[in-house]
Amino acid sequence: MDRYLIPALEQPLNGEVEISGAKNAVLAIMAATLLVDGVSEISNVPHLKDMKTMSDVFRVIGCRIDGAAHTLRIDTRGANHLEAPYELVKTMRASFYVLGPLVARFGRCRVSLPGGCAWGPRPVDLHLKGLEALGATINVTHGYVEALCEGRLKGGTFHFPVSSVGATVNILMAATLASGKSVLHNAAIEPEIDALVDYLIGMGAKIEGRGTRTLKVEGVEKLSPGSGATIPDRIEAGSFLIGAAVTRGCIKTTNMDPTHIEALLNSLREMGCKITIGDTWVEVDARDKKLKPISVKTLPHPGFPTDLQAPMMTLLATIDGLSIIQDTVYTDRFTHVAELQRLGADIKLVGDTAHVQGGKPLSSAPIMASDLRAGAALVLAALIAEGETSISRIYHIDRGYEDFENKINSLGAAVQRTQDNS
């Protein structure tokens, strides 16, 4: 497996970086193409390991996928093997998204319970209960979910007890082909949900309530193949902008939507960064700034995103004083804490809250990425740690950051990918 060797920066990160398409939006839209019998197209697709994994799931199902120049063409006309195997689903939770479209279109499917990042269980109960509300019969046996329905799914009402992006994706897609009207209360409102709604409407779905927590879906008998570009990746943009603050540099992220990361920008502004915003770009300037400690709480959108909790923790570790970061979305998402501590960060965990006593110098040590966003956080920490830091298991980073080392090196880093012989 590959690893990163990262020497300490000689100068703060500085420059411009273009943001890629949002992997979380693409994965949902890919699943939506299973609702139709034909060839759909998605553009602005990042080259990522997760894209390959989802493509492999589709090929097992019987679809054909061709990709070039950040565009995917998905031919679902050969879909006839209605099973997503454990060997693939265990590596990426989003492959569970095929459950709703398959049972809605074919009336049956068998999908492995998911795996993914190693920082704790994320149950799929809401996915299953939502599909049952639409008339599906669900059985869980031998690690697989078997979903069946006689004829079409039936329109129904479902209230999410907690906001769930994944469950909203699955149930919304299934509802588009259900007979009658479905109403989803307390649905997720992340930008990736809006992107999915837009794509589904382009396929002929009848959906009201885009951008609100109540989605109303009038099911149709048939959808048409879709075509369109996905949104930019707000988490990638946020990670690089946090990198500007971590290194006390200045970074401009382009080809993005600033409205998608307002909670992050508010936090960076509160700690003392200079924020400049354009229609499709953001610049964070932390040069010569004495940043102050803050408190951060992750929340469903439009709150501070849990996917930026780990990079934000690295930043707080660089600021003199006590900062607090609480993750109310995934309360056990703290596997990066031990690795940051190995670099010298002073962090204490109490339940779902990290107390970060910042400002202490970091020094290099062998560390490992335990999940996707933890990997990005550790890279940022390595940039300011004295000496050369080795980060293993960087395949996690490859899942969600396109061309990561080249992008960050263009800003002044010297990240080197090498073979891990350990």
How many CA atoms does the CB half-sphere of 16 hold within 13 Å?
Answer: 7
Are 251 and 240 contacting, i.e. CB atoms less than 8 angstroms apart?
Answer: yes
Residue type, 196: L
- The sheet that has 39-43: what strands, in order across it? 64-68, 71-75, 39-43, 227-229
Q: Which position among 63, 117, 149, 273 bears the catalytic label?
A: 117
- Which position has the token pair 């508010």? 266
117 is catalytic: yes
Which residues are marked as active site?
117
